[in-house]
Amino acid sequence: MRVVRSDRSSRIGSAVLIVLGLILATVPQFFVATVVQQLTSLFIFVILAVMWNALAGYGGLVSVGQQAFIGFGAYGTVFLAQRDVPPYLAVLLAAVASAVLAAVLAPLVLRLRGGQFAVGTWVVAETLALLVVLDHSLGGGTGISLRGLNVFTPDERRAYTYWLALAFLVLLLAAVFVLLRSRTGAGLQAIRDDEEAAASLGVRVWRMKAGLYVLAGFGGGAAGALILANTLFIEPRSIFGVQWTAYMLFMVLVGGLGTFEGPLLGALLFFGVQYFFADYDAWYLIGLGLTAGAFALFLPRGLWSLVQVRLLPVGYHLRRDGPGD
């Protein structure tokens, strides 16, 4: 027996996703505005699901405060646009600034574990939201619009935002895939399973956790900036709201925690659920929470565990050597 990677399956899965990405890139040219805007929202949900799954599913970092980076990315875009930075460049820079924020916060929040880490990340999000409310140049508590995008026609704006969201999604999926197929990915999963044991084997625990946290901060900031570009308006209560954690929990737990494909499936399901039930307000969020809890208890590996297919294997498996091996 020997440990090997599923390189052939990975090549096939990668080819399928590349073809799908090329097809998706043509959507603004052939579909109506509503479809383009809705697909942009779907891409944002996938980004959020993939980033939270990377944190919790592979790194064991269960955060309930990733909305800190969502809000920071959105308001960072506004801040830069107010200083005459082109709006789409501001989106990119805000995502990078969110990664820098994560790097600054990492020495503080990564000292915490388990429930303390979860609460600590939530406190960070609430603190940032309060700072924004107190800053009237960013609209205070009433919200603010991204007026810089008014230089584009509505169709141009939707198309550019769609392509940028697709580019971020492809970039982050590729980053997670490469990370998980590296020794760092194996180290992160060892940390998730038993941090002390991983450290005793020479795994650089803090450095790996910090790197993953920074990547998730970048993804959260990108998602927040894209939300602003897609809707043109934000306000602190919603963009820093804990409902984003509920969304990410639902997508990852229902799709499949700790799987590469599960969050993609979970985001698709959540997109459909939101389309039909979002008007139910509080009952909608309660339903999401109960559903996610039920999956955590009775189907902890999510719906993807029922599918006997791995489009992009990211781990290792045992293979029995044949006579000629």
- One-letter amino acid at 207 equals R
Give the pair of three-digit tokens for residue 26. Answer: 């043509």
Residue 52 CB contacts under 8 Å (≥ 6 apart), including other chains: 63, 66, 216, 248, 249, 251, 252, 263
Nearest in space to 79 (alpha carbons), one of 41, 151, 124, 132: 132
DSSP character string of 248-301 = HHHHHHHH-TT-SSHHHHHHHHHHHHHHHHGGGTHHHHHHHHHHHHHHHHH-TT
Nearest in space to 309 (alpha carbons), one of 269, 268, 265: 265
Question: Does pLDDT of 264 surpass 80?
Answer: yes
Report the alpha-carbon distance of residue 188 to residue 211 in Å, rounded.
Answer: 10
Report the alpha-carbon distance of residue 262 to residue 255 in Å, rounded.
Answer: 4
Report the alpha-carbon distance of residue 178 to residue 181 in Å, rounded.
Answer: 5
Looking at every residue in the chain, the average pLDDT score rounds to 86
Nearest in space to 214 (alpha carbons), one of 316, 73, 100, 91: 100
For residue 318, the SS3 value is strand
Q: What is the pLDDT of residue 10?
A: 58
Q: What is the pLDDT of residue 318?
A: 43
Residue 68 CB contacts under 8 Å (≥ 6 apart), including other chains: 101, 121, 124, 125, 128, 220, 240
Report the alpha-carbon distance of residue 249 to residue 52 in Å, rounded.
Answer: 8
Residue 287 CB contacts under 8 Å (≥ 6 apart), including other chains: 277, 280
Q: What is the pLDDT of residue 4?
A: 46
For residue 242, the SS3 value is coil
For the entire predicted model, the pTM comes to 0.89
Q: What is the pLDDT of residues 162-184, one digit of tens each?
A: 999 999 999 999 999 888 888 88
Q: What is the pLDDT of residues 269-323, one digit of tens each?
A: 898 888 777 677 677 777 777 888 888 788 888 888 887 666 666 655 445 544 5
Question: Does pLDDT of 212 surpass 90?
Answer: yes
